[in-house]
Amino acid sequence: MLAHNQDPPRRTPLHSLHVSLGGKMVPFAGYDMPVQYPAGVLKEHLHTRTQAGLFDVSHMGQIALRPKSGKVEDAAHALERLVPQDIVAIAPGRQRYAQFTNADGGILDDLMVANFGDHLFLVVNAACKDADEAHLRANLSDDCIIDALADRALIALQGPKAEAVLAKFCAAAPAMTFMDAGPHEVAGINCFVSRSGYTGEDGFEISVPASDAERLTRMLLDNPDVLPIGLGARDSLRLEAGLCLYGHDIDTTTTPVEAGLEWSVQKSRRSGGARAGGFPGAEKILAHFDNGASRRRVGLRAEGRAPVREGALLFADSAGGEPIGKVTSGGFGPTLSAPVAMGYVPVSLSALGTKLFAEVRGQRLPLAVAAMPFVKNTYKR
């Protein structure tokens, strides 16, 4: 039973569809979400890698940032006050990965930012979306109208057959390349479509009016190449792809440099760049760029078959010694048929091949620092 002060989980516009498809529902980020369907996590994972998987990600936050001046570049300049990325350089019809940072250089949330020509479209994490909206309103209201798009669902179609499936409903899909984003018609419905995702596979994310979400989802699922995919496989897919999960691999205590996300911060915002700094925590983050950080997120491959889970302590020796780091995500990689993990270690122990040990049930299991992604991505460049 729920405590008196605990709200019941919210439901996405696709909740009844999940139940009708046999989804096993669990609470996640304040929502009732499917963790798996009757096919099971393993089959769902492998189906996405070989055909196409359909994910409900409607719990994510969708926000339009509309410039009061009418000039999208003014919204971009405003948003640069909150993120270390070059937002001004995002061309119309394109999107970019970014992070909200705090005064200590930590990450408040990670997000996607698209330029829709006359405004910016943001997708933020479910657990952070209310705080993100408040953060935007507190800092950007003088320059922008912050419009939380609560009447929209979000679905992701991922996998090597995603393009062929979506092309039947969206004429623009085949011409899109990785990180293209904008308004497009899908099955006669006005949607926002990006060629991106959270699996390492080619695919699309489709923002659709909530009233049309179930109809569109059913049309996509009618294709025999498409299976519904739950949170379980979503997590194992993103882990194999080496992608961060907010609140686990990145949080308010990690900077973008420590997290290995340097690639996401363009030169224009770094020391000596055209618009260097000017974002929260810039002093610490730019110092990490210039002088290095003391720790780093790395990939980890265990020697045995036992998965090394989140929270496992890492050691430099097989016995004795203090922990040198911690696993932030870990599990079994179905594509590799082997365990994979990510965690933070001192930079001095972050070189590929470095042998470490994870403490699992009182035993220290050997593992090695490994390259990420663990499974090669297939984005359409």
| 3-state SS track over the chain | CCCCCCCCCECCCCHHHHHHCCCEEEEECCEEEEEECCCCHHHHHHHHHHCEEEEECCCCEEEEEEECCCCHHHHHHHHCCCCCCCCCCCCCCEEEEEEEECCCCCEEEEEEEEECCCCEEEEECHHHHHHHHHHHHHHHCCCEEEEECCCEEEEEEECCCHHHHHHCCCCCHHHCCCCEEEEEEECCEEEEEECCCCCCCCEEEEEEEHHHHHHHHHHHHCCCCEEEECHHHHHHHHHHCCCCCECCCECCCCCCCCCCCHHHCCHHHCCCCCCCCCCCCHHHHHHHHHHCCCEEEEEEEECCCCCCCCCCEEECCCCCCCCCEEEEEEEEECCCCEEEEEEEEEHHHCCCCCEEEEEECCEEEEEEEECCCCCCCCCCC
The answer on 74 and 2 residing in a single domain is yes
Of 247, 272, 291, the one marking the end of a domain is 291
Return the pLDDT at 4.
52
The answer on 226 and 194 residing in a single domain is yes
In a domain, 217, yes or no: yes
In a domain, 110, yes or no: yes
The answer on 180 and 59 residing in a single domain is yes
The answer on 359 and 225 residing in a single domain is no
Count the domains in the chain: 2
The answer on 298 and 219 residing in a single domain is no
The answer on 329 and 245 residing in a single domain is no
| Containing structural domain, residue 370 | 294-374
**CATH at 135:** 3.30.1360.120
In a domain, 380, yes or no: no
Is the pLDDT reported for residue 6 higher than 90?
no
The answer on 320 and 277 residing in a single domain is no
**CATH at 331:** 2.40.30.110
The answer on 262 and 322 residing in a single domain is no
In a domain, 379, yes or no: no
Is the pLDDT reported for residue 378 higher than 50?
yes
The answer on 258 and 197 residing in a single domain is yes
In a domain, 123, yes or no: yes
- Is 205 among the annotated ligand-binding positions? yes
The answer on 214 and 308 residing in a single domain is no
In a domain, 205, yes or no: yes
Span 125-161, pLDDT tens digits: 999 999 999 999 999 999 999 999 999 999 999 999 9
Sequence-separated (6 or more) residues with CB below 8 Å from residue 71: none
Return the pLDDT at 5.
58
Span 88-111, pLDDT tens digits: 999 999 999 999 999 999 999 999
Confidence bin at 7 (pLDDT 50/70/90): confident
Span 184-239, pLDDT tens digits: 999 999 999 999 999 999 999 999 999 999 999 999 999 999 999 999 999 999 99
In a domain, 381, yes or no: no
Of 240, 273, 291, the one marking the end of a domain is 291
Compute the mean pLDDT over every residue in the chain, rounded to the nearest whole number.
97
The answer on 345 and 200 residing in a single domain is no
Category of 115 on φ-ψ map: left (φ > 0), alpha (ψ -120 to 50) or beta: beta
Q: What is the pTM of this model?
A: 0.96
Confidence bin at 1 (pLDDT 50/70/90): very low
The answer on 179 and 254 residing in a single domain is yes
Span 107-121, pLDDT tens digits: 999 999 999 999 999
